[in-house]
Amino acid sequence: MAAPKKGRRPTGAQGRPGRALAFILIAMVALTAGMFLSKQTTPRLGIDLAGGTTITLKAKSEPGKPDAVNETNMNTAVGIIDRRVNGLGVSEAEVQTQGRDHIIVNIPKGVNEQQAREQVGTTAQLYFRPVLAFADGAPAAPAATQSPSASPSASTSGAPKAEGSAKPGAPASPSSSATSQGRAVSEALKAPAATASPSPSASESKKADDNKAAPSPVPTPSGVDAAAADLQARFAALDCTDEQQRAAAGKGVKPEEPTLACGQRGTAMGKWILGPAGVAGTDVKEAKGVIDPQRGQWIVTMQFTDKGADKFAKITGELATKQAPQNQFAIVLDGKVISDPSVSQALTGGNAEISGGFTQQSAQDLGNMLSYGALPLSFSEDSVTTVTAALGGEQLKAGLIAGAIGLALVVIYLLVYYRGLSFIAILSLMVSAVLTYTLMALLGKGIGFALNLPAVCGAIVAIGITADSFIVYFERIRDEIREGRTLRPAVERAWPRARRTILVSDFVSFLAAAVLFIVTVGKVQGFAFTLGLTTLLDVVVVFLFTKPLMTLMARTKFFSSGHPWSGLDPKRLGARPPLRSSRRRNPAPVEAKEA
């Protein structure tokens, strides 16, 4: 047999283990520094550990659509609500159906509950309605003292803003006198009556507003029918600062009928008389809040469908010829005005923007509502449950105790069975723990990962998976020593076989985690994600830390001499004498056998 070439390394040898150790230590320092620089030093916790809000929505069929509550519409609604929740930047929120007509929305602690309820629970259709009149929300406030903030303005996307739209101090309210306001509303209500969308009768208007107090008698202006006078009277009596009246305003009114509505304008509550809907939420293709780099302010851009573009061009063309407040259109969601921009020109082309006084949050919220405001069903808020963190804290404590017990049992086993080798295994477990913790903390801020109880279980299971990789390698080394080899060659010869076993085992675990993550929903995904992450880290730690460290330890006298406490004592392992020495001492029997 030809002798191996001088200087050739054994299969699987690692000439410079210090480089791999330096690399993984630098990675640990970088991840830890990133964790502190991002001020996210702890993983984000899920609802079951940190508390949160659970909102139950019940689907209702619209009049004339008894079969609207079906699986297709429910799944569509779940997708829209899920995107709406994600639009808030919520992490680990769960949106799923329960039974035939319920949707459960779980929102973790740390998200503004009121904001979440407004975005999630506001599930009626979205409409664009022309503004006929505006006043302060409290009916008792003197008209002369009204000074609402300027409304946002709407303009063609990319086009220069027309003069007088959304200027600070520009009049955004109706005339200061009740007489001139009544005249403007009366004239505005005459137009719908002459079209295909007539004003409702007095009895229908009262039926749609049963919960309100009876309005005070108001003289009927000349040339105005009773329905218009009744609408003016109810507008004057409406108190939008009262929660019950505010919630009842506009309920039960069809899109083609004029209505009353309440909403927040600036820091004050306002109330509106609105004409028939000109554009529906389903006509909005996309909307989002963005920063305008030229003006340095936040705006909301809108893109309409082909039909929606025609409708929007028509209504804005009509509004542009009128005076404030009748040159405004109100964006109404669930009977509530969420914005009332003014129009200075007809907006054609299917693209528009809303600007004026937006913050980043308000622009993104409005864009979110416009994008996902139209649902195929109407929903009522069945229940809202706030989960305290007390129970979650107890569960987290129990999970950490279980993890500590599992880790302690693994360490005890390693100490008893592997002795000195347990030092390498424990250091590897510590490195794996640091990498796992820092990545979980950074992923919480980076992709919204939240640690829930199943994820904690996944981390506990990972302790066994990681320890199993060490055991596979250690046993391969001990097998080589039993064959009569010294430690340094045994370490290098054992690595290729151990490496294949470790890779196959981790691949199976990762594949199972990936499939589980894809086919499941909710908290089970947390378990699958954690299991997959720790499996990948196991490969990194074994290749870049455990193997290089074992190579270095094999060069020390304690391990290479087979110390009884090293875990590699040839006598305890039952190693047989080296094959070459046996041949030199007993040549005769071999020759006799050949003869």
d(Cα 133, Cα 260) in Å, to the nearest integer?
10
Q: For residues 527-562, b (16+ Cβ closer than 10 Å) or e, as one string?
A: bbbbbbbbbebbbebbbbbbbbbbbebbeeeebbeb
Q: Residue 329 in contact with residue 319, Cβ under 8 Å?
A: yes
- Please give the helix or strand (H or E) that residue 560 lies within, else none: helix 557-560
How many CA atoms lie within 13 Å of 75's alpha carbon, on the beta-carbon side?
3
- 60-89 pLDDT tens trace: 776 656 677 888 778 777 877 776 676 555
Q: The pTM is what?
A: 0.51
pLDDT at position 593 is 45
Could you give the strand order of the β-sheet that contains 351-358, starting from the edge strand earlier in sequence? Answer: 284-292, 297-304, 351-358, 153-156, 342-343
Cross-strand bridge partners of residue 57: 103, 381
pLDDT at position 326 is 86
Please give the angle made by the CA atoms of 582, 587 and 589, to the nearest 5 degrees.
Answer: 105
> 3-state SS of the chain: helix, strand, coil percent to 5?
50, 15, 35
State the Rg of the chain over Cα: 36
| Distance, C-alpha 280 to centroid of its chain | 27
**C-alpha distances out from residue 403 to 167, 291, 307, Å:** 62, 47, 59
- 506-532 pLDDT tens trace: 899 899 888 988 877 656 777 888 888
**C-alpha distances out from residue 558 to 74, 553, 567, Å:** 68, 8, 10
d(Cα 438, Cα 545) in Å, to the nearest integer?
17
d(Cα 207, Cα 193) in Å, to the nearest integer?
19
Whole-number average pLDDT of the chain:
74
pLDDT at position 455 is 83
Residue 151 vs residue 391, higher pLDDT:
391
- 128-180 pLDDT tens trace: 889 988 888 777 444 443 333 344 555 543 333 333 333 323 333 333 344 44
d(Cα 398, Cα 387) in Å, to the nearest integer?
18
Euclidean distance between the first and final Cα of the chain, in Å?
A: 23
- 485-496 pLDDT tens trace: 888 888 888 898
pLDDT at position 206 is 33
pLDDT at 481 over 80: yes
- 166-186 pLDDT tens trace: 332 333 333 334 444 555 555
